[in-house]
Amino acid sequence: MAIWVNEETRLVVQGITGKEGTFHALGCRDYGTNVVAGVTPGKGGQEVEGVPVFDSMDQARDKTGCNATMIFVPPPFAADAIMEAAAAGIELVVCITEGIPVGDMLKVKAFLRDHPTRLVGPNCPGVISPGVAKIGIMPGHIHLPGRVGVISRSGTLTYEAVWQLTNLELGQSTCVGIGGDPINGTSFIDALEAFAADDATEAVIMMGEIGGSAEEEAAAWVQANYDRPVVGFIAGRTAPPGRRMGHAGAIVAGGKGTAAAKMEAMREAGIHVVESPAEMGRKVAEALGA
Amino acid sequence: MKIHEYQAKEILRRYGAATPRGRVTADPAEAASICEEFGGRCVVKAQIHAGGRGKGGGVKLAGSPAEAQELAASILGMQLVTPQTGPEGQEVRKVLVEEALDIASEYYLAVTLDRQIGAPIIMASAAGGMNIEEVAEENPDAIVREAFDPHLGLQPFQARSVASRLGLSGGTARQAQKLIAALARTYVEMDASLAEINPMLVTGEGDVVALDAKMNFDSNALFRHQDVREMRDLAEENALEVEAGRYGLNYIKLDGNIGCMVNGAGLAMATMDIIKLYGGAPANFLDVGGSASQEAVANAFRLLVGDPNVKAVLINIFGGIARTDRIAGGVVDALAELGDVGIPVVVRLEGTNVEKGREILHSADFDFIVASQMGDAAEKAVAAVKELA
C-alpha cells in the first residue's frame, strides 16, 4: 500500500513538449508510471515518444481517462495550468514549477476551494510510491519499497533522507515533496492524515524549514492524532534572520518561524527531533526498534 | 526585491496615498533649493535599503536651506551604520529632502502575507515609529489585524474597522481609511511581499500622511512589473550576491569561513546547520539548483574561492537529475582554470553516477578531501579549517 500514487494512476504531463517536460515524462514512464497523455496548448495531435499530446486538459481527460497530472509549465502560466487541471476534474495535481508568484497561488487556492482536487507543490520534487509509480523529478533508483512515509518541503534534502532509509533497508512507502513556497496545496497535516490511514506506513519522517508555522501545526496534529513514530528535522537553524522572512511576516508568525521554536514544538509533541540531518534514518530505525 | 523610500512613496502616490512633498537628490546645493521651495524647513533623509536610518544619524531636521545643504553634504557619502546594515554600514548615495511636518501622533501600518490563513493581512498599531517586533512580543493585543481577500480587495468596512480600532475618528479616520485602502491596493496590484508605512503620521491639523514607506516585492512576479524592475539599485546589494544572481545561483553571504556549495535550498540549509553542529561556521548559503549544471558549478566554485573569508570549501551534492560526474567535472574545470586555490576542498558526492564522479575527483590534479556522508563532510571541513589556524 501507499498513498496518492499507485497502480491506478493514469498520468498526464502538462508542458510535455518542453525539454524538461519530455525528459521527466519519460523518466516517470521508465519507472513504471502509466503515462497516458501530454498537454501543450496549440500542439494537440503531436506525439512525444508515443505519448499523445492534446490541446487542453478536457480533451486529455475525455480521450485517456487520466486522473493525475504533473505540471512543467513556465511560472507565468503555471497557475492557469493548475486551475485548468482542476476544472477538468483531475484528482491529483503535482506542480513541479518553481517561481510562481504568490499572488497567482492565492488565486489558485481560491479556485481549488470549489474543486475536490488535491494539489501537491508547487516548487516540489513530486510524489513517489517506490516500486510502483512516481510523479516527479526524483531519481527513482535511490528508493526502496518499504515501511517509512517521507514528507518534506525540500527536494535534495528528501533524497538525503530517502538514501539513508534505503541503506538501512527500511525503505519508503510513499515520499511526498510538499514544496518550498509560502503558499502551497498540500500541507504536512494533509500528508500525515493520509499516512495515518495507510497500514504500510509504520513511521514518518518530516523535514521542515524555517518560516511560517506549518511545522508547529503539524506537531500539534501528530500529538493529538498519530501514534506511530515520527522523526523530525528542521533546516535553517543557522540561516540569518530577516533574509527569507519579511519584517512584518515575522510578526504574523509571532516568534513561530525560527528553527529552534519549530524543533521545540515538535519535541513537545513527542516527535523524535534530530539535530543532525545525517541522523534521520538511524533515528527512524531506533524508533521502530529495527 | 527591495526599493528605496522615495521610490516606495512614488508608487504609493499613484494609488492616491498622501505623502509629504519631497524630492530626491545627490547634490547638497540642490538640497538647499528644495528646502527653500518647502518654506525653509525640511527633513534630510539618507536613502539606503536598510531600516533604522534615524538611529544611525541618517535622518536630520534642517531649519534653513543652508543647514539642509550642510546636512546633505555630511550625510551623502557617509557609511551609514544601522541595526540592519551590519557593522560595516552602507554608503549613502542619495538623500530625500522633504517638507517638515508637525507630528501629533504616529501609527504603524503594513500589509503582508499571512501564510497560515493564506491571505494578505493589514497590521496596524498605535505604537508607530517603534520597533514593531518588540510591540508584537511585549503587547500582541496592541496590534490590529485585518485579513482580506486579495481578489475582492479590502472592503471599505474593513478600512473603517482598522481606523476605528486605532482610535481615530472624524476627518482623521476618513483620511486614514483612504491611506489604508491605498496601501492594500498597492500590495495586491504591485505583487508586493511587504508594504509598510511606519510611521503613518497624524499632523497637528489632523491630516494623515505616510511619513516613511518601505516596500519589498515578490521576485517571482517581477516579470509583469517592468517599472519595479527599473527601480532596482544594485549598489545597495552585496556584490557577491549580485554576481551569483547573474549566474542563476542562489547565494547569501554569511559571517563564517567554510564556503558551502550545495544543490537544493533545503540541503543547503541543512549543510550550514551541520557545519555549525560540528563547531564550524558557514561563510555562505549557496544553492546551485536542484539540477545543477556543470557551468553553474564551475561559476559557484570560482565565486566561493574568490571570497577572502573562505578558508575551506565544502561541496555537498546529492545528484538526482544532476549527475554527480558532471558536477565533479565542473569543479575540476574551475580548478584547472584557477590554478592553485591554496585552500582545502572537501567533497561529498552521492546519487546518480557517483562512482564516475568520485573517479574524476581521484584522477584530478588536486588533492580533494573526499567524504562519505554529510556528517563526515562537515567534520572534515571543520578540521581542515582548524588545522590552518
What one-character DSSP code corresponds to residue B252? E
Annotated active-site residue A247? The verdict is yes
- With cut-offs at 50, 70 and 90, classify the pLDDT of residue B116: confident
pTM check: above 0.95:
no
Determine, for residues B290 and A109 on separate chains, whether the beta-carbon distance falls below 8 Å.
no
Nearest one of A79, A153, A68, A87 to A109, comparing CA atoms: A79
Window A:17-76, CB contacts with B under 8 Å: 75-76
pLDDT tens, residue by residue, B119-165:
999 999 998 766 677 777 777 788 899 999 999 999 999 999 999 99
Neighbouring CB atoms inside 10 A of B206's CB total 14
Residues B78, B48: Cα–Cα separation, whole Å: 11
Going along B231-382, which residue ranges are E strands? 250-253, 258-262, 284-287, 312-319, 345-351, 369-371
Contacts of B204 (CB under 8 A, 6+ apart): B102, B103, B104
**H/E element holding B22?**
strand B22-25
Grid cell at residue B144: 490590529
Question: Between residues 93 and 112 of chain A, which touch chain B (CB distance below 8 Å)?
Answer: 99-104, 106-107, 109-110
- Divide the 290 residues of chain A into consecutive groups of 10 and give the mean pLDDT of each group: 93 96 96 98 96 98 98 97 98 95 96 96 96 95 96 92 96 96 94 97 95 91 97 88 43 62 95 96 93
Is B107 in contact with B199 (CB distance < 8 Å)?
Answer: yes
Residues 262-281 of chain A with CB under 8 A from chain B are: 275-279
B267 to chain A, minimum CA–CA distance in Å?
5
The sign of the torsion formed by the CA atoms of B207, B211, B216, B222 equals positive
Listed in sequence order, the DSSP H helices in B148-238 are 156-165, 170-189, 226-230
- Rounded to a whole number of angstroms, the distance from the CA of A183 to the nearest CA of chain B is 7
3-state secondary structure of A190: helix
Chain A residues with CB-CB distance to B196 below 8 A: 247-248
Mutate to test the interface with B, among A163, A221, A243, A251 (most CBs of B within 10 A): A251
Under 8 Å between Cβ of B7 and B190: no
Is A224 in CB contact (< 8 Å) with chain B?
A: no
Q: Which listed residue (B6, B15, B107, B108) is catalytic?
A: B108
Ordered strands of the B22-25 beta sheet: B22-25, B95-99, B42-46, B59-62
Q: How far is B269 from chain A (nearest CA, A)?
A: 5
Query: How close A68 comes to chain B (CA, Å)?
Result: 22
Contact A39, A209 (CB under 8 A): no
Among residues B205, B213, B174, the alpha carbon closest in space to that of B101 is found at: B205
Q: For B15, what's the count of Cα atoms within 13 Å in the CB-facing half-sphere?
A: 20
Give CA A101 to chain center in angstroms. 19
Residue with cell 528644495: B34
B367: number of Cβ within 10 Å: 9
Task: Say if the Cβ atoms of A139 and B290 lie within 8 Å.
Answer: no
Residue of A88, A78, A87, A81 lying closest to A112 (CA atoms) = A87
Higher pLDDT pick, B265 / B181: B181
- At A248 the pLDDT is 34
**Whether residue B64 has pLDDT greater than 50:** yes
**B294, pLDDT greater than 80:** no
User: B322: nearest CA in chain A?
Assistant: A139
Contact B270 A235 (CB under 8 A): yes
A132 contact partners, CB below 8 Å, separation of at least 6? A2, A5, A6, A7, A32, A145
Q: State the DSSP H helix or E strand holding residue A54, giving kind and residue range, or none if neither.
A: strand A51-54
pLDDT at residue number B129: 63
| C-alpha torsion angle, residues B248, B254, B260, B262 (rounded to 10) | -50
Single out the residue of A121, A55, A31, A44 nearest to residue A82, CA to CA: A121
**Tens digit of each residue's pLDDT (9 = 90 or more) over B199-224:** 999 999 999 999 999 999 998 999 99
A74 prior amide bond cis, ω within 30? no
User: Rounded to whole angstroms, how far apart are CA atoms A85 and A12?
Assistant: 10
The answer to whether the Cβ–Cβ distance between A182 and B374 falls below 8 Å is no
Query: Are A246 and B112 a contacting pair at CB < 8 A?
Result: yes
Note the pLDDT tens digit of each residue in B227-257: 999 999 999 988 888 888 888 888 888 889 9
**Among the listed residues A152, A101, A128, the one whose alpha carbon sits nearest the alpha carbon of residue A27:** A128
pLDDT at A251: 36
- What is the pLDDT at residue B12? 98
A31 min Cα distance to partner chain B (Å): 14
Q: How confident is the model at residue B372 (pLDDT cuts 50, 70, 90)?
A: confident
Which has more pLDDT, B86 or A13?
A13
Nearest CA-CA partner of A32 in A140, A127, A173 = A140
Tell whether A260 is within 8 A of chain B (Cβ). no
Helix (DSSP H) and strand (DSSP E) numbers for chain B: 13, 18
Q: Is the pLDDT of residue B82 over 90?
A: no
Of the candidates A24, A115, A143, A247, the residue annotated as catalytic is A247
Separation of CA B143 from chain center: 24
Cβ neighbours for A84, distance < 8 A, ≥ 6 positions apart: A14, A56, A57
Can you give the pLDDT at residue A22?
96
Looking at residue B130, what is its pLDDT? 63
pLDDT in tens, B336-355: 888 878 899 999 999 878 88
Q: Which of B137, B269, B320 sits opposite A139 (nearest CB)?
A: B320
